[in-house]
Amino acid sequence: MKRLPILLVLFSLISACGDSDRARQAKFFAFGTEIDVSLYGVDNQTAENTVDALEAAFNNVNNTWHAWQPSTLTRINDAIANGEPIQVEADVAAVITQAAEYAQDSQHLFNPAAGKLFEVWGYHQDNWFESRPPPSQESIDVWLHASPTMQAIHIEDGTLASDNKMVKLGFGGFAKGTAVDAAINALKQLDIENAIINIGGDLRAIGSHGDRPWRIGIRHPRKEGGMMASVAIDHDQSVFTSGDYERYFTYEGKRYPHIIDPRTGYPATETISVTVIHQQAARADAAATALVVAGAEWPQIAASMGIDHVMLMRADGQIEMTPAMAEQVRLIDPSQQPLIRQITTP
């Protein structure tokens, strides 16, 4: 297996050597971001043994699903563009099927088949952050007319085919969640019961931090380095946030975020940040993206995706959240009064 350039592996042994009652922390780099691992209740040797397992898990996801550098995904997309079927491994087919399920549940607001649209906007390249004019309306209309969705993907007996050549798969909307789930599964196979995997601020936690839950800070989308809220999580929960501050470029003073509404072909603007809690990291990741796109209609999409813990900030600064999230989250600014919205059954 090709190894990612993991530049740094550090175990900070917060406790004394041999003491298994404190947290151990590892930091390394993959996916172009820092990945933090916190383990509780393990000895030094067990902590060190997790590095190879986690590296393998993150390597596998990155090498399989990179959207523009050579990968399994680019080979699949080349075959789709050429109108050719392609053999896929069972684990690859399982992820694509999972993505199709999330897309269906989100009413295609999470649309992993929209890779060409993100390509048109310049987000499938290493210099995505550079200033540039937005794409022409004509190029957006071409994509809207073709209307690629995951419904155009068909997998049978290990063979993938598509009846829409404009489909280009891209899993940026839940690749981090998929990687975190894989990493947690790797830890569980090592019988590690208390841990956090945090990739660029999105995470999944299992167990607890001794006799207390894990407490997580949620970034404020408009205050550099500031926190909007904290949330206590216990047992097995994932916390994922999508927002317009994560990836964007500016042109002539206007910000163009990377979360694009597949109904219009333009970046979503009603909501600037959504945080979701769910056990499964991949579903939480996909849901956070879909709910940013959904705008004011987010309660109905949340219900459709099986999500009951949601907090979002609208473009006007108003915070909204579900009753379940209100029980678990604490806003940093106590003067802010969140709007509580019930999940709407589809």
Q: Which residue positions form the known binding site for Mg(2+)?
A: 173, 285, 289
Q: Which amino acid is at 202?
A: D
Q: Which of 321, 322, 327, 318 is nearest to 272 (CA)?
A: 318
The three-state (H, E, C) secondary structure of 39-70, written as one string: EECCCHHHHHHHHHHHHHHHHHHHHHHCCCCC
d(CA 218, CA 234): 16
Strand ordering across the sheet containing 214-219: 214-219, 227-233, 329-331
Of 287, 306, 34, the C-alpha closest to 173 is: 287
How far is residue 320's CA from residue 294's CA, in Å, rounded to a whole number? Answer: 13
Other C-beta atoms lying within 10 Å of the C-beta of residue 52: 11
Binding site, by residue number, is 173, 285, 289
Q: Where are the alpha helices (DSSP H) in 18-136?
A: 44-65, 72-81, 90-105, 115-120
Residue 140: what are its φ and ψ, rounded to 5°? -70, -40
Cα–Cα distance, 88 to 99 (Å, whole number): 15
CA–CA distance, 187 with 94 (Å, rounded to integer): 21
Tokens of residue 195, six digits: 């841990």
Which of 74, 41, 319, 4 minimizes the C-alpha distance to 207?
A: 41
| Cα dihedral value 169, 172, 178, 179, nearest 10 | 120
Residue type, 336: Q
R_g (Cα) of the chain, nearest Å: 20
